[in-house]
Amino acid sequence: MSPEIKNKLKLTFLLLITALPVSLATMSFKTAIENGDIAATSNKGHLINPPADISALEMRDSEGNPAFLTFEEELATLADPDEYEIKPWLLVFVTAKECETSCMERIHYLQQLHIALGKNIQRVRRYYINASGEAFRTETAAIFREDYPSMGITYSDATLLESNLREAGAELSLEEQDYVILIDPVGNVMMYYTDEHSAEDIMTDLETLLKYSSLG
């Protein structure tokens, strides 16, 4: 068997073992809601099915470079697919406005939610998307450096982000409100939360997904 064929077989196997648990987690989550094991109320996250790719969020670093590669792009950079490392789950706060009082409150409770995960804390990372098209004010940047140093900061285009997610069936309006978006370890944008959702709503969904998934 040639090395090229071996690598293709290994890649296929890797895709199966990484994608399947997340798919099963999503299916189990939906089934649990339908069976009444989890309360199916209007104040739980909005499931995006099928999920969008993380590239739909147009997340870029301060230099304008993509903050995340797609799953396929990252695999393409590896000499051996076995080198692929599963990423954490991502809790992403996105706003197209300056981060004022309500935004800071939201950022704070996401930090507290993360801490409350206990033994699962390393399975999740938090990110902030500044989709305003403007740089942070000096005082805002200082608050993030001092109070939220573990929260990744990225930038995006609000119009592109909304358009991309609309194609996936998710209607977001960043002019009206901010959102929290949940992304699985292989880059599937699978759920989002509005201003009306509480930290407990997000925690309930996240704990359920972490329970059913072996990834991240």
Contact 179, 193 (CB under 8 A): yes
* Alpha-carbon span 194 to 208, nearest angstrom: 19
Of the candidates 13, 134, 129, 10, which has an alpha carbon nearest to the alpha carbon of residue 79?
10
**DSSP β-bridge partners for residue 115:** none
Domain boundaries, the chain: 3-212
Place of tokens 């301060």: 62
Percent of the chain with pLDDT over 70: 79
* pLDDT at 2 (0 to 100): 52
93 pLDDT band (50/70/90 cuts)? very high
CA distance 81 to 83: 5
The string of pLDDT tens digits covering residues 152-208 is 999 999 999 999 999 999 999 999 999 999 998 888 999 999 999 999 999 998 988
| Spatial distance between the Cα atoms of 24 and 28, rounded to a whole number of angstroms | 6
Gap between the Cα atoms of 138 and 146, Å rounded: 12
**CA distance to 41, 60, 180, 191, per residue, from 45 (Å):** 9, 25, 9, 6
Q: Which of 55-59, 64-68, 204-208 has the lowest mean pLDDT?
A: 204-208
CA distances from 39 to 12, 25, 62, 91, 204 (A): 37, 17, 40, 22, 10
What is the pLDDT, as a whole number, of residue 8?
A: 45
Q: Out of 25-29, 72-76, 160-164, 200-204, pick the least confident.
A: 25-29
The sign of the torsion formed by the CA atoms of 133, 135, 139, 145 equals positive
Cβ atoms of 189 and 183 closer than 8 Å: yes
Cα separation, 149 vs 125, whole angstroms: 12
Which residues 6+ apart lie within 8 Å of 162 measured at CB? 172, 173, 174
Domain 3-212 has CATH 3.40.30.10: yes
> Residue 76: pLDDT above 90?
no
